[in-house]
Structure 1
Amino acid sequence: MPSTSLLFAGDPAEEGYGLRAAVSSEPPPQVWRRSNSDALLVPPLLRLIGDRGDRRIVVGAARVEVTAEGETSVTFQVRAVWREDTGWRQESDREGLDEVLVGSLAEPAHRFAGDPASVAVMAGKALAEASRNEVAGLRGLRYDLERHVADLLAQRRSTALRSLLAQVIELSMAFSRARDHARETIRETRPETATHLAALRHCEAMDVELAEEVARLQALLTSMSTFAVAQDGEAQQRFNMVAAAAAAGLGLPALILSLYGADAFLPFSFDHAWRALLPIALTALVAVGVVLRRMPGRATWRHYAAAVGLVALLVCVLLVAGLLAPTNPGAG
């Protein structure tokens, strides 16, 4: 049973504004059924609802019908819903969606009066204007994605590139679907009054603005794809540098031990250990430091801390090995 709600009365509600209508939802039909109402309009439906971190993009159409007795009904025909969770993704769960949609349609405030056709046209105009106003919110989503990409490029955060690429594609699909509904309304509706013409202009503006957003998202996707290729090359270079650091960390101590020998110090005592291991530690630190300085990207304090930790681990291994080494009878 459709529930009766007050739409477009303002937030907070203003005296003399708003339309009381029976609100319901139904699956989108392949072909519009014939209506017994005196007036029927089908404006696009685009809403960005919810709080940051748990927002939803709702795309579809709204069927507005007004009978000769003045009874108004608004039927939401939702085509697709995208939800913000760990990232944007399309979902099929519509539970509780009607109530949230009604709550999001307090603005823009409108006065409704006149015959059924006038009320239907004004309701269609209000819905079209509300959908067009949501494009600004969608633009904010694109700005957020661009900021995440900039943070990734500047290494200010460790966001996964694959996740960002998926979100760009999902939002591009949502924007394109919303644009399709705006264009469908423009194509199937003929303006008969000034209010009706204003409603179509909102749909036309929605079409143009969404087309621009889709183009921006496609350009962002192309840029990110190029960056992904460059990132793969950088990762290969970084691996080569890490391999060089590992080779230096293992090879230089071995070279020192082979040149000067360690027989005189083995087995280690704590008095002799620092004299044998200090040159090795310093040499390994210098080698790893040079590698970090030449590594692509900005080396952070975590990189240097990890390098010091690896060198300390190497020295500890050599110390333990020296302490456990068998006594050399020929050592003087």
Structure 2
Amino acid sequence: MDLRVLAGDLTNPDLGVQVAVSVGRGDVVGYAVPFVRVTKGEVRRLLVGQAHTDGKRLDVVVRAAWREDGGWHREPWQGDDVAELLQHPAHEVPDDDTRLSVIAKAVAESSRNAVAELRGLRYEMERQVADLLAQRRNTALRLVMAQLIELSIAFSRARDQARDTLREVRDPGVTRHCRAVDVELGEEISLLQSLLSSVSTFAVAQEGEAQQRFNMLAAAAAAGLGLPALILSLYGADDYLPFTWDRAWRALAPIAGTVALAAVIILHRMPGRTTAKHYLAALGLIAGLTGVLLVAGFLAP
């Protein structure tokens, strides 16, 4: 009697396949195939392990799990959402000697399809790195690097499971899917490692840029404090104090102009992209400094 997996769900009771899910190590029963899944929902999870079947029983052993919550990180998994995790393309499951092979192939093919979702995770990380380089977001670089390392570990663990099953499975169809998982994950790991290396280089460059920016800001602060003092020493403040409105603009206009020129030069030479926010901040500092001098001039004896 031939049975079809409705919606590709091996948990369909009509199939007579008993499903058990465990965390950690499990005994191999029949065929062992890699089990790789990215769960859906509000918070995504990445599960890595093996599925063992003897044609009547399907044991899913989850070796490691990662959760996307504030960034990808390792977490314990309690074996929930079993029905969702065992979805794969519809297969006709015969009630004969090929039943074992068909079920093993279905699970292995589903794991191979999950590699495309893992590739999508890598694309997301590349987008985050691109946004950081273009300064389109303020994500902490340390968080991005940590996620890249976590995903690299997860992909490597999944590849290890595929390699382990290749030593045990002799069925050509199942072996083909296991080998494809091994090869495709190897490519993804290499790309993740290259991306991590690029981000590390960017981190070093960013640290140097931050130091240079600090030096420029220190120069701006020195100019903002030193130039007014120099101008006042050349003019002599006694002739202007205490301020009247007529004396105030004549005394403070050269100071404000000199500080503004110094700020524009420093902002123009500052590393990275200078935005309108930087110019507004500089304008606020100049206005604040001028305001302090103005108040001090009016209060001077």
TM-score, reference length from structure 2: 0.92
Equivalent of 1:87 in 61, 67, 71: 71
Asked if residue 63 in structure 1 is aligned to residue 52 in structure 2, the reply is: yes
Other-structure match for 1:42: 32
Residue by residue, what CA displacement relative to the aligned partner does 1:36-74 show, whole Å, maximum 9, x if unpaired? xxxx211110000124x62100000112133xxxxx222
More helix by share: 2
Aligned-pair CA distance for 1:22: 2.2
Asked if residue 126 in structure 1 is aligned to residue 97 in structure 2, the reply is: no
**Counterpart secondary structure, 1:42:** strand
Other-structure match for 2:117: 137
Asked if residue 256 in structure 1 is aligned to residue 245 in structure 2, the reply is: no
Give the Cα separation in 2 of the matches to 1:309 and 1:177: 53
Give the Cα separation in 1 of the matches to 2:208 and 2:53: 55
Q: How does 1:282-293 map to 2 (within 5 A)?
A: 282-293=257-268
Give the Cα separation in 2 of the matches to 1:18 and 1:64: 17
Give the Cα separation in 2 of the matches to 1:121 and 1:101: 21
CA gap of 1:302–1:18, structure 2 versus 1, over 3 A, is farther
Gaps of 5+ in 1: 1-5, 67-71, 192-196, 327-332
**Counterpart secondary structure, 1:24:** strand
Other-structure match for 2:131: 151
Asked if residue 103 in structure 1 is aligned to residue 84 in structure 2, the reply is: yes
Residue by residue, what CA displacement relative to the aligned partner does 1:1-24 show, whole Å, maximum 9, x if unpaired? xxxxx995227x8xx998452222
TM-score, reference length from structure 1: 0.84
Q: Letter of the aligned partner of 2:161 in structure 1?
A: H
Give the Cα separation in 2 of the matches to 1:185 and 1:101: 22
CA gap of 1:260–1:202, structure 2 versus 1, over 3 A, is same
Question: Conserved in 1, the CA contact under 8 Å of 2:51 and 2:61?
Answer: yes
Other-structure match for 1:25: 21
CA gap of 1:204–1:107, structure 2 versus 1, over 3 A, is same
Aligned-pair CA distance for 1:130: 0.3
CA gap of 1:245–1:7, structure 2 versus 1, over 3 A, is farther
Aligned-pair CA distance for 1:289: 0.9
Asked if residue 207 in structure 1 is aligned to residue 203 in structure 2, the reply is: no
Give the Cα separation in 2 of the matches to 1:18 and 1:273: 92
Question: Percent same amino acid at aligned positions?
Answer: 56
Q: Letter of the aligned partner of 2:6 in structure 1?
A: A
Q: Letter of the aligned partner of 1:50 in structure 2?
A: K
Aligned-pair CA distance for 1:79: 0.5
Task: After the TM superposition, list the runs of 4 or more consecutive aligned residues in structure 1 that deviate by more than 6 angstroms.
Answer: none
Q: Letter of the aligned partner of 1:265 in structure 2?
A: Y
CA gap of 1:160–1:243, structure 2 versus 1, over 3 A, is same
**How many positions carry a matched residue from both structures?**
297
Give the Cα separation in 2 of the matches to 1:54 and 1:44: 23
Give the Cα separation in 2 of the matches to 1:264 and 1:128: 90
Q: Letter of the aligned partner of 2:60 in structure 1?
A: F
Residue by residue, what CA displacement relative to the aligned partner does 1:182-221 show, whole Å, maximum 9, x if unpaired? 0111012222xxxxx1111011001000000000011111
Residue by residue, what CA displacement relative to the aligned partner does 1:223-263 show, whole Å, maximum 9, x if unpaired? 11111111111111111111111111111111111111221
Question: Conserved in 2, the CA contact under 8 Å of 1:172 and 1:218?
Answer: yes
Gaps of 5+ in 2: none
Give the Cα separation in 2 of the matches to 1:101 and 1:313: 63
CA gap of 1:17–1:111, structure 2 versus 1, over 3 A, is farther
Question: Conserved in 2, the CA contact under 8 Å of 1:10 and 1:17?
Answer: no
Give the Cα separation in 2 of the matches to 1:101 and 1:261: 83
Question: Conserved in 1, the CA contact under 8 Å of 2:125 and 2:148?
Answer: yes
Give the Cα separation in 2 of the matches to 1:110 and 1:18: 14
Give the Cα separation in 2 of the matches to 1:273 and 1:128: 82
Give the Cα separation in 1 of the matches to 2:14 and 2:182: 26
**Counterpart secondary structure, 1:46:** strand
Q: Letter of the aligned partner of 1:296 in structure 2?
A: P
Q: What is the root-mean-square deviation in Å for CA atoms of aligned residues?
A: 2.1
Q: Letter of the aligned partner of 1:287 in structure 2?
A: A
